[in-house]
C-alpha cells in the first residue's frame, strides 16, 4: 500500500461517497487491524483518551457490540445511548441530540437510524466524526466493507468477481452499500429477488437484476444472502415465507450446481430454513462467522481513520 495515501474524511456516511482508492485503503488498514485482533492482548492505544458514542435509534445487538468492541480494542471510552431510554422520547430532535453529544466532547458518533440520510444530517451539524451504522433503506457501509474484506481474504481480490446479492433488495441498506462498494472495485454484481422486492431502475447502479435464482447462482464466485425481514418491511410486499424458501432459499441441492468454492455470505441474523438451509449456513462454503470476526477489524480501521482525519482538520 502506498505510504503517501492520506485519509481526509471525518465521517463515514456511505460507500456512495467514497472513491475506489478510499475503499481499498480502508480494506488495507483493516488488514493491519486484523492482526491486532489475533493477539493475546487485543488492544492498542491508538484512540486512548477519545470517546466514542453508540447512538442507536433502532435496536441492534451485533453491530452495536461490534462497534463497541472495536472502540475498546483501540483503547477509546465507549458510551451507549439507546433511544428507548433517552430524551428523544421526550421530543428532542436529532440535531439537538447531536449538539448535546458534541458538548460532552465526544470524538466519534456511531449512529443507527430508521430514517435514510439521518447520519448525513448529523454529520453536517456537529464537528464530531459521524459513522453510519445503518440508516433506513439507505446504507450500511461498515457491513459492506466487512463483506468485501471477507471476500478479498477468501478469493484474493474483488475486481472481476461475480457477486450475486439475493434477498429483499428493495428494503436493504446492506444491498445498497454492497452494490456501491463492489461496483466501484470492479466486481460484476447481480441482484436477485422476487420482482416486487427489486426496486425499479436498480440497473442504473451498474448491476444486473433477475428474478431467476438459477441465473444468479450460475457462475457466481460469491453470493451475499440477505436476511428476509418478515417481521418488518418485507412482509408487506412479500408475505409468504414458504413461497420464498421454495423459489429463493439457498439449499444443498441448489449449491451443487454452483461453483465448487463459491463463497456464501450473510449479514446475520440468519433465518434458518428461510433464506438458506441449516446445511448451507453451517457448510464449508459459508463464511458467516468469519464475517463477524472481520467486522471488528474493519470497524477498528474506520474509527481510527475518521478520528485521525478530524485531528488533521483541527
Partner 1 sequence: MVVREKSKVMDKEGIDKALERISHEIVERFEVADDIAVIGIKNRGSYLAERLVLKIERLIDKKLLVGALDITLYRDDLTQVAAQPVVHATEIDFTIEGKKIILVDDVLFTGRTIRCALDALIDFGRPKRIQLAVLVDRGHRELPIKADYVGKNVPTSASELVEVRLTEADGKDEVVLCEKIP
Residues that bind partner 1 (CB under 8 A): 1-3, 5-7, 28-29, 31-36, 39-41, 43-46, 74, 301, 304-305, 308-309, 311-312
Q: Considering the complex, what minimum distance in angstroms separates the CB of residue 148 from partner 1? A: 18
**CA geometry: angle 171, 275, 294, nearest 5 deg:** 80
Q: Considering the complex, what minimum distance in angstroms separates the CB of residue 190 from partner 1? A: 33
Residue closer to partner 1 by CB (options 222, 303) is: 303
Residue closer to partner 1 by CB (options 28, 230) is: 28
- Between CA 302 and CA 300 the distance in angstroms is 5
Q: Considering the complex, what minimum distance in angstroms separates the CB of residue 194 from partner 1? A: 43
- Between CA 56 and CA 53 the distance in angstroms is 9
CB 12 within 8 A of CB 144: no
DSSP string for residues in 189-213: EEEE--GGGS-TTGGGGT-EEES-H
Burial bucket for residue 257 (CB in 10 Å: 0-12, 13-18, 19+): exposed
DSSP 3-state of 162: strand
Q: Considering the complex, what minimum distance in angstroms separates the CB of residue 20 from partner 1? A: 17
Residue closer to partner 1 by CB (options 1, 242) is: 1
Q: Considering the complex, what minimum distance in angstroms separates the CB of residue 41 from partner 1? A: 5
Residue closer to partner 1 by CB (options 29, 164) is: 29
- Of 308, 270, 302, 303, the C-alpha closest to 286 is 270
Residue closer to partner 1 by CB (options 26, 255) is: 26
C-alpha cell at 136: 433506513
Amino acid at each position: 500500500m502506498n505510504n503517501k495515501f492520506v485519509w481526509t474524511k471525518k465521517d463515514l456516511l456511505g460507500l456512495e461517497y467514497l472513491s475506489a482508492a478510499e475503499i481499498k485503503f480502508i480494506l488495507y488498514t483493516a488488514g493491519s487491524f486484523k492482526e491486532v485482533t489475533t493477539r493475546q492482548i487485543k488492544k492498542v492505544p491508538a484512540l486512548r483518551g477519545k470517546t466514542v458514542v453508540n447512538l442507536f435509534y433502532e435496536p441492534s445487538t451485533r453491530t452495536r457490540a461490534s462497534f463497541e468492541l472495536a472502540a475498546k480494542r483501540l483503547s477509546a471510552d465507549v458510551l451507549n445511548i439507546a433511544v428507548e431510554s433517552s430524551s428523544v422520547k421526550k421530543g428532542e430532535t436529532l440535531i439537538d441530540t447531536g449538539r448535546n453529544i458534541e458538548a460532552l466532547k465526544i470524538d466519534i458518533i456511531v449512529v443507527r437510524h430508521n430514517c435514510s440520510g439521518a447520519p448525513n444530517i448529523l454529520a453536517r451539524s456537529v464537528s464530531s466524526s459521524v459513522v453510519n451504522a445503518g440508516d433506513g433503506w439507505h446504507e450500511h457501509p461498515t457491513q459492506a466493507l466487512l463483506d468485501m474484506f471477507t471476500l478479498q481474504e477468501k478469493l484474493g481480490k474483488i475486481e472481476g468477481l461475480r457477486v450475486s446479492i439475493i434477498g429483499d433488495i428493495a428494503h436493504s441498506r446492506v444491498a445498497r452499500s454492497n452494490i456501491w462498494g463492489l461496483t466501484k472495485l470492479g466486481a460484476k454484481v447481480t441482484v436477485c429477488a422476487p420482482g416486487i422486492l427489486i426496486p425499479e431502475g436498480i440497473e442504473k447502479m451498474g448491476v444486473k437484476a433477475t428474478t431467476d435464482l438459477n441465473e444468479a447462482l450460475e457462475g457466481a464466485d460469491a453470493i451475499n444472502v440477505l436476511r428476509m425481514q418478515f417481521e418488518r418491511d418485507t412482509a408487506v410486499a412479500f408475505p409468504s415465507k414458504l413461497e420464498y424458501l421454495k423459489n429463493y432459499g439457498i439449499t444443498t441441492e441448489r449449491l451443487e450446481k454452483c461453483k465448487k468454492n463459491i463463497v456464501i455470505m450473510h449479514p446475520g441474523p440468519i433465518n434458518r430454513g428461510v433464506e438458506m438451509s441449516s446445511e448451507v449456513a453451517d457448510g464449508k462454503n459459508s463464511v458467516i462467522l468469519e464475517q463477524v470476526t472481520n467486522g471488528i477489524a474493519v470497524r477498528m480501521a474506520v474509527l481510527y481513520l475518521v478520528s485521525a482525519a478530524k485531528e488533521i482538520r483541527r
